[in-house]
Amino acid sequence: MKDLYARHRAVLPDWLALYYDEPIELTHGEGRHVWDAAGRRYLDFFGGILTTMTAHALPDVTKAVAEQAGRIIHSSTLYLNRPMVDLAERIAALSGIPDARVFFTTSGTEANDTALLLATAHRRSNQILAMRNSYHGRSFTAVGITGNQSWSPTSLSPLQTLYVHGGVRSRGPYAALDDAEFTAACVADLRDMLGQSRGGVAALIAEPIQGVGGFTSPPDGLYAAFREVLAEHGILWIADEVQTGWGRTGDHFWGWQAHAAAGPPDLLTFAKGIGNGMSIGGVVGRAEIMNSLDANSISTFGGSPVTMAAGLANLSYLLEHDLQGNARRVGGLLIERLRAICAQLPVVREVRGRGLMIGIELVGPGTDEAHPQAAAAVLEAAREGGLLIGKGGGHSTSVLRIAPPLSLTVAEAEEGAAILERALRSV
């Protein structure tokens, strides 16, 4: 393992971070568990950053991939592609967007990049509204609208970005307000910002629950209230569902549905869980916007027959086994169990989340200051106990991120909570 780590450091860039003081190599998985190169088994509460959505080595998906790979692996979007059309039809129907069109990419970053291209081309404006503390990917344009400075390595951007309040409920100048007052204050801030902008704004892009930002979210209905203001100016709404989509939040299939009074977004981006580990991303949106490019555009690898076959099998399994309902039931039990544990621990400021998307924010005991060292220590202690979790947060990585596969059982939730309790108490 040390040899592999040395080779990694010698040939890959320094900014390509690894978890743990002694990084581990994951060699295989099954269900909600993975094994490292030393043969140690872990309960997986992070799913490769919310990507292994249903289960590791899900037979339905591995069979579909093998069968498609045995026929043809690649053709590009220049040829008719039955698996791509099949999956596009299902996603268009599930999106809630009328007269929807779908374009497939290979990642969430590329999906958001495409949505920004479509919105700015359609509106003839390079001005974008984004949320403070947000994260939308690693590309030049996605970094340019990312409000989380820990993930924004440059201030250069082809876009003019205006950052709006509202993505973080429990911190900032409006934290002390009740939900209705919080929403009203954020709407007033948005109106004020639009009143000071020069020219027309193309779109607002927002994660219904901020992922890298530490699983923070506004009160239900905030984006519906924003949408009323946006509609007055013809501004589009892009819902970044890369982490919240496919039923992970339990209460809804898409995160935007917590703000459903506004109706569906104009554009919706997706990735991660739909491929269950295969590289799928994409944009679904109104035909008027999706058809608005007036130049050639294709995707070499987006819509690959193999990844589309995986997505179809994975989506079918998720719907047939009601994994959204399982996320709601098991996630509800898990979050209440974690809240009971953390109520006794001064290092925990807040346990928040929805379904199987749960964050535990750590602070210095007796303070309100973020405590990234504690988060790193809990991450290590949880791994020692046989549990893999993630971390994130605003300007420091002080939030533990918990996002297991949606097929998690009650017994596994209890097991994971017990390991996490021991890890938190050790800190």
How far is it, in rounded angstroms, from Cα 107 to Cα 392?
20
Transcribe 128-184 into DSSP letters: EEEETT----SSHHHHHT---GGG---S--SSEEEEES-S-SSSSTTTTS-HHHHHH
Residues with Cβ < 8 Å from 38, sequence gap 6 or more? 1, 24
Pairing of strands 387-388, 357-362: unpaired
The encoded tokens of residue 85 equal 């059309």
pLDDT tens digits, 268-296: 999 999 999 999 999 999 999 999 999 88
Return the higher-pLDDT residue of 335 and 2.
Answer: 335
Q: What is the pLDDT of residue 325?
A: 98
pLDDT tens digits, 152-188: 888 778 899 999 999 999 999 999 999 999 999 999 9
Q: What is the pLDDT of residue 2?
A: 80
Give kind and range of the element (H or E) at residue 226.
helix 222-233
Instruction: Locate the domains of the chain by residue range.
Output: 2-58+322-426, 63-320
pLDDT tens digits, 344-365: 999 999 999 999 999 999 999 9
How far is it, in rounded angstroms, from Cα 412 to Cα 409?
5
Q: What is the fold, at CATH topology level, of the domain defined by 2-58+322-426? A: Aspartate Aminotransferase, domain 1 (3.90.1150)
Res. 196 pLDDT band, cuts 50 70 90:
confident
Q: What is the pLDDT of residue 239?
A: 98
Quote the percentage of the chain above a pLDDT of 90. Answer: 90
Q: What is the pLDDT of residue 149?
A: 79
Q: Is CATH 3.90.1150.10 correct for 63-320?
A: no
* 396 has a pLDDT exceeding 80: no
pLDDT tens digits, 125-146: 999 999 999 999 999 898 888 8
Res. 1 pLDDT band, cuts 50 70 90:
confident
Torsion-angle region of 39 (φ positive above 0: left; ψ -120 to 50: alpha; else: beta): left
* 151 has a pLDDT exceeding 80: no
Q: What is the pLDDT of residue 395?
A: 67
Question: Residues 193-215: what's their mean pLDDT?
Answer: 92
Q: What is the pLDDT of residue 198?
A: 75
Q: What is the pLDDT of residue 157?
A: 86
pLDDT tens digits, 61-99: 999 999 999 999 999 999 999 999 999 999 999 999 999
How far is it, in rounded angstroms, from Cα 344 to Cα 137?
36
* 266 has a pLDDT exceeding 80: yes
Question: Residues 96-115: what's their mean pLDDT?
Answer: 97
Nearest to 42 by CA among 421, 412, 427, 426: 412
> What does the buried/exposed string (b/e) look like for 217-233 if buried means 16 or more CB atoms within 10 Å of the residue's CB?
bbbbbbbbbbbebbeee
The encoded tokens of residue 73 equal 């692996």
